Amino acid sequence: MKYILASASPRRRELLKQIIPEFEVIPARSAEKVNLSLFPEQMACALAGSKCDEVFDLNPTATVIGCDTIVVFGQEVLGKPKGRDDAYATLKKLSGKTHFVITAVCVRNKYRRVTDFDKTEVKFNVLSDDFIRIYVDSGSPLDKAGSYGIQDGGLVKEYYGNYTNVVGLPVPLTKKLLEKVNEDL
């Protein structure tokens, strides 16, 4: 069976290797259309489904895995930063505070399409302005929801839930969805 990860994220690629040793990477290319009237969990599921469907439509004999990660701070949904200033402002906002990371996963083959999400509570350390500037200047936060990676040191004080969810691919959930989509085959 051919598996495709519909994401260019090197972090997702590494995590998926824990479940599937061999797969192809074909990132979804269309612009993300966010429906702001949805709850954050629904929003993440819709975006993951859209990415999965786009790649599946071009590869209908494969099993495709699409993902989307969003960060929720209060009532605000934080995606990837628009640039360095946005990343700085986001990290300043999250400093010393708690937020949630939601990653949705959609798995589809020619027989089934299943989608679910994982949610992790994350508390940040208090970050100095110098720390934030150095981190932003490293470029690391510029391609990540919420402008950070949990694997980058010094940011996260504690978390409650699944670590791999915050990285961008909840491994236990993804494994469960792959089993579900391949049931009875």
Q: Which residues are catalytic?
A: 68
Q: Which two tokens stand for residue 128?
A: 């100095």
Question: Tokens 């409650």 belong to which residue?
Answer: 160
CA distances from 38 to 69, 102, 179 (A): 15, 14, 28
| DSSP-assigned letter for residue 153 | T
**DSSP symbols for 101-139:** EEEEEEEE-SS-EEEEEEEEEEEEPP--HHHHHHHHHTT
Q: Which two tokens stand for residue 132?
A: 């934030």
Question: What number of other Cβ atoms are within 10 A of residue 63's Cβ?
Answer: 23
- Cα gap 157→143, rounded to integer Å: 22
Question: What number of other Cβ atoms are within 10 A of residue 96's Cβ?
Answer: 10
